[in-house]
Amino acid sequence: MTYCLGIKVNDGLVLASDSRTNAGVDYVSVYSKMYRFEPAPDRVFVIVTSGNLATSQAVMQQLKRDMESVNAVVSLCSVGSLFDAATYLGQVSQGVQGQYGQALNSSGINGESYFIIGGQIGAQAPDLYLVYAQGNCISPSPENPFVQIGETKYGKPILDRVIGPETSLEDASRCALVSIDSTIRSNITVGPPVELAVIRTNEYTIGQYLKLDENDTFFRSVRERWGEGVRQAFLTLPRFPWERVSPVSPQSDNQPVQQAVPAHPEAPQMQDLGVGYSPQMR
């Protein structure tokens, strides 16, 4: 398993991927899941992939051969739009799976691969597509301007909360790193190095590219600050009523009284947060 994502904002695209592949708990390797292409001055593409590694690599090799061949009917050099590029990618993937599918199925191996392709062609706006193993594709919506493949569930919450069309490329890039780090922390089948590529609108090149291993100073800083920020945010959540006051044994007049209960030892000094809270009842 792996985890890859693509984000589409007004200023361009961000794509990110991990590099772990495994065929069981006793065979774990590192392979890049990101492929970058700048086949002409007016176009740029980044592709990330999950699923069967052999299928993914065969598809990428076919894309490269088509770009180098003068006889190729279609290639990334000739497609007229990102949708055409995604459709072509799906067709190549289907061809590879068809070539080896029967042998793989007879061996009990899943030969499917999934892809995210992002880029820009000519004066068209940058675009992004998720290409399924079946060859069809979808693009993100303004309400959810991102797509994911692989182990998607752990990294989705921050994307839902942070990413919108107006998000800057820099914030989208930080969000992508946190999304992948959250997945790495929760799933052993996802791991570094993490690759990140940024395509700015109308630049027709991969303006920024990073490959970050687990000891990279910048990546470690992002991970540590995010973890500490989440912990501090958690400590500011409102206390339950029973954490602040609790009844004690009645006094001589048989009337219950309230006794202060200490707040969480690490909780910061807070103003009134509701549910009967009083700063005097810490």
Residue 21 falls in which region: left (phi positive, over 0), alpha (psi -120 to 50) or beta: beta
SS3 content of the chain, % helix, strand, coil (to 5): 35, 25, 40
DSSP state of 124: S
Q: What is the pLDDT of residue 247?
A: 52
Structure tokens at 136: 């069809």
Strand partners of residue 113: 51
Tokens standing for residue 259 = 């006794």
H helix runs in the chain, sequence order: 53-68, 82-106, 156-162, 169-186, 217-235, 241-244
Whether the Cβ atoms of residue 19 and residue 30 lie closer than 8 Å to each other: yes
How many H helices and E strands in the chain?
6, 14
Cβ atoms of 59 and 113 within 8 Å: the answer is yes
Residue 175 CA, distance from chain mean position: 8
Cα–Cα distance measured from residue 34 to residue 257, given in angstroms and rounded to the nearest whole number: 65
Q: What is the pLDDT of residue 11?
A: 96
Residue ranges for the chain with pLDDT beneath 50: 246, 249-263, 267-282
The pLDDT assigned to 163 comes to 96
Please answer whether residues 31 and 53 qualify as being in contact, where contact means their C-beta atoms are separated by less than 8 angstroms: yes
Contact by Cβ (8 Å): 142, 83: no
Tokens found for residue 134: 């079946």
Domain(s) labelled CATH 3.60.20.10 in the chain stretch across 3-231
Q: What is the pLDDT of residue 196?
A: 98
**What is the pLDDT, as a whole number, of residue 131?**
98
Determine the pLDDT at residue 280.
39
State the fold for domain 3-231.
Glutamine Phosphoribosylpyrophosphate, subunit 1, domain 1 (3.60.20)
135: DSSP letter: S
- Measured distance CA(143)–CA(185) in Å, rounded: 27
Give CA separation, 223 vs 147, 213, 215, in Å: 22, 12, 11
Please name which of 2, 103, 122, 118 lies closest in space to residue 53, comparing C-alpha atoms.
2
CB-CB contact of 14 with 195 (8 Å)? no
CA distances from 29 to 20, 109, 177, 194 (A): 6, 18, 21, 14
State residue 234's pLDDT score: 94
pLDDT given for residue 248 in this prediction: 52
d(CA 129, CA 46): 11
pLDDT for position 108: 82
Q: Which residues are within 8 A (CB) of 151 and not within 5 positions of it... i.e. 6 or more apart?
A: 1, 2, 3, 183, 187, 189, 190
Distance, CA of 62 to CA of 221 (rounded, Å): 39
pTM of the predicted model, to two decimals? 0.82
